[in-house]
Amino acid sequence: MNKKQILYYKNILGAVSSRASCNRAIVGAILVRNRSIISTGYNGSPRGLQHCDDIGHLISNNHCVRTIHAEVNAILCAARNGININGCELYSSYKPCFQCMKIIINSGIKRVFYFNDYKDDFQKEFEKNKYCKFIKIKCVE
Ligand SMILES: [Zn+2]
Ligand SMILES: [Zn+2]
């Protein structure tokens, strides 16, 4: 993958993540097949419900649990529209949390490229698996 292509995805992730509605995590995700973007997602409340930015966070164990994470929303957007995501790639602003990792692995996504680190206690349990690789993209300008 060349620098130009990476920068292209990075810029699009910036635009997608600007719609995130929980300011504790400004995250965007896009699904890509053969260099074409087939779905996008950002972290926000389930459809039709109020957002953290309007009514405040919903905190449990120091995490805001009101939102669906960007990666999962990208998968769900594809599902809602009947788009096959088996074998595609995911680009995300941040390394997925362990909950998203589990979902990503079973969705058929084969590679995840992320730009920023995010750490939780359980990623290591799922990160190394047979079906999906999680790859950090070195900073590009
Ligand atoms: Zn929130
Ligand atoms: Zn997550």
pLDDT by 10s per residue, the chain, length 141: 789 999 999 999 999 999 999 999 999 999 999 999 999 999 999 999 999 999 999 999 999 999 999 999 999 999 999 999 999 999 999 999 999 999 999 999 999 999 999 999 999 999 999 999 999 998 766
User: Which ligand neighbours the alpha carbon of 123 most closely?
Assistant: 2
pLDDT at 85: 98
Residue 138 is predicted with a pLDDT of: 87
Residues with CB under 5 A from ligand 1 (ion): 22, 52, 57, 64, 66
Amino acid at 132: C
102 CA from centroid of ligand 2 (Å): 9
How high is the pLDDT of residue 141?
65
Distance (angstroms) between ligand 1 centre and the Cα of 125 equals 26
Q: Is 141 in the active site?
A: no
State the pTM of this model: 0.95
* Beta strand ranges found along the chain (DSSP E): 28-33, 36-42, 59-60, 63-64, 89-94, 111-116, 133-136
